[in-house]
């Protein structure tokens, strides 16, 4: 079929089962569309994501997926109306086994979609409102109204006798769906199954997002000096990333000096001083695709204890990355991480997130999860095309410093390829004395 006339919702086998040419460098191209080279093909991205969900739905016991999680909405419908709606539960989408995506959006956004999202059928772009985290009282009847509407659409699709998967939901809305005769079950696992292997376009977007943080860390390396505060760095990183096309700087953790141990996962107005060890985590997204990217620096000079902590942190990270390849298990990788008591924690739950890996995509935390908390008893397989962040932490023997390093990796046919390229093999020391 001619590409100009084909149904934009038609899924082809190559859309959902791509093969990569890992012999080439991963693209880190500009954001502007051009006529002289192939960049991200967003229509191909739309087909891939929808195809993956349809495939996961077919492999499950579910008759339909009803999603309120904004990442799942974007994955299925390729729509987004701004970061302000991330925690509002004000949009939702339905995908049945036999139908096309149906989207209920916030007010005029639904009208906008009819004009600007030709991959969705105009009649499937609906305005809707339910609870918005309880702001609209369930007694007003909007939840009951939409629950009956959804149940009717599922029945029309012939899926009403099957379980209906839901990801996250306001309890009153779930009760109304049950009153409408639907068997509501967990649908998040099916969505995460669909999202775990990335397409070439998703990998290109993740690589572009990482490249933006490479640049941000170069700036941090130049700015980090005595008298600068943690929040000054946070502000400069935010400005840098938004100027370079970020659609959401989710967080910038900035930890320095005596705050490094134990790790507090935040930032303050603490002023940096000579000899401070400082680490940062930059979490941002480009076209929805996220980064989780730690780097550690020292200001002016570093002590033997700080050098040792950094060296050990890097060694744990490298040992774990060496184990990453298709067919490996998460337990095999987690075995390379130190046990909690080996770096000063009473149990693995207390140390969770310090020796750790997690998938990256439209969400900060996707599959796989690699941690001694869960992976040793519940190993899962690493697959080609997965993208995840792997991070380690080592407290220094001085009792207050600490090193934190993180790399984002793409799983190739032979191993993994690092896409976080700001140098981290040795401890960077800024404005060396």
* 3-class state of residue 250 by DSSP: strand
Measured CA to CA, the distance from residue 420 to residue 422 in angstroms comes to 6
Distance, CA of 232 to chain centre:
26
Residue 322: count of CB within 10 angstroms of its CB: 12
CA angle 174, 178, 184 (to 5 degrees): 70
pLDDT at 425 over 70: yes
Measured CA to CA, the distance from residue 106 to residue 84 in angstroms comes to 12
Domains, the chain? 39-195 (3.40.350.10), 200-430 (3.90.230.10)
- What value does the mean pLDDT take over residues 211-235? 98
Measured CA to CA, the distance from residue 160 to residue 96 in angstroms comes to 10
Contact of 406 with 320, CB cutoff 8 Å:
no
Provide the β-strand partners of residue 154: none
Measured CA to CA, the distance from residue 231 to residue 225 in angstroms comes to 13
Averaged confidence pLDDT in the chain: 94
Of 82-86, 319-323, 403-407, least confident by mean pLDDT is 82-86
pLDDT digits (tens, 9 = 90+) for 305-351: 999 999 999 999 999 999 999 999 999 999 999 999 999 999 999 99
User: pLDDT-derived band of residue 4, with 50, 70 and 90 as boundaries?
Assistant: very low
* 3-class state of residue 57 by DSSP: helix
Q: What is the pTM of this model?
A: 0.94
Contact of 229 with 270, CB cutoff 8 Å:
yes
Contact of 282 with 291, CB cutoff 8 Å:
yes
Q: Is the dihedral of CA 393, 398, 401, 403 positive or negative?
A: negative
Q: Going by C-beta distance under 8 Å and a sequence separation of 6 or more, which residues neighbour residue 39?
A: 27, 29, 30, 33, 204
Residue-level length of the chain: 433
- What value does the mean pLDDT take over residues 349-369? 96
Alpha-helical runs (H) found in 165-283: 171-179, 188-195, 200-223, 230-243
Strands 164-166 and 184-186, how do they pair?
parallel
Task: Give percent above pLDDT 90 in the chain.
Answer: 88
The separation between the first and the last C-alpha atoms of the chain, rounded to the nearest angstrom, is 66
- What value does the mean pLDDT take over residues 226-235? 98
Phi, psi for 427 (deg, rounded to 5): -65, 115
The predicted structure's pLDDT at residue 30: 81
pLDDT at 378 over 90: yes
């Amino acid at each position: 079929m001619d590409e100009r006339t084909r149904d934009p919702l038609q899924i082809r086998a190559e859309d959902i089962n791509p093969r990569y040419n890992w012999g080439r460098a991963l693209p880190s191209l500009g954001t502007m569309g051009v006529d002289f080279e192939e960049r991200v093909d967003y229509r191909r991205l739309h087909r891939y994501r929808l195809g993956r969900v349809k495939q996961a739905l077919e492999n499950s016991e579910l008759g339909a997926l009803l999603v309120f999680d904004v990442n799942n909405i974007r994955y299925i419908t390729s729509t987004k109306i701004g970061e302000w709606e991330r925690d509002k539960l004000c949009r939702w989408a339905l995908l049945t086994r036999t139908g096309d995506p149906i989207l209920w959006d916030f007010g005029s956004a639904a009208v906008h979609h009819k004009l600007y999202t030709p991959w969705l059928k105009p009649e499937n772009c609906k305005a809707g409102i339910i609870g918005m985290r309880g702001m609209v009282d369930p007694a007003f009847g909007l939840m009951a109204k939409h629950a009956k509407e959804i149940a009717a659409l599922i029945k029309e699709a012939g899926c009403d006798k099957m379980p209906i998967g839901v990801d996250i939901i306001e309890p009153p809305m779930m009760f109304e769906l049950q009153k409408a005769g639907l068997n509501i079950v967990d649908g998040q696992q099916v969505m995460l199954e669909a999202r775990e292997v990335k397409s070439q376009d998703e990998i290109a977007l993740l690589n572009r997002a990482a490249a933006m943080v490479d640049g941000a860390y170069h700036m941090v390396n130049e700015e980090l000096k005595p008298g600068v505060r943690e929040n000054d760095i946070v502000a400069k990183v935010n400005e840098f990333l938004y100027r370079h096309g970020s659609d959401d700087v989710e967080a910038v953790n900035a930890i320095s000096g005596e705050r490094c141990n134990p790790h507090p996962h935040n930032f303050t107005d603490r002023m940096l001083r000579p000899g401070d060890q400082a680490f940062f985590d930059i979490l941002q997204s480009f076209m929805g695709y996220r980064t989780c990217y730690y780097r550690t620096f020292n200001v002016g000079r570093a002590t033997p204890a700080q050098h040792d902590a950094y060296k050990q942190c890097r060694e744990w990270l490298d040992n774990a990355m060496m184990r990453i390849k298709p067919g490996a298990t998460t337990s095999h990788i987690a075995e390379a991480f130190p046990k909690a008591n080996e770096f000063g924690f009473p149990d693995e739950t207390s140390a969770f997130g310090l020796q750790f890996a997690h998938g990256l995509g439209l969400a900060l935390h996707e599959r796989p999860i690699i941690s001694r908390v869960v992976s040793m008893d519940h190993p899962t397989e690493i697959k080609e095309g997965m993208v995840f962040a792997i991070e380690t932490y080592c407290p220094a023997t001085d009792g207050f410093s600490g090193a934190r390093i993180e790399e984002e990796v793409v799983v190739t046919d032979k191993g993994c390829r690092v896409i976080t390229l700001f140098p981290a093999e040795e401890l960077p020391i800024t404005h060396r004395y």
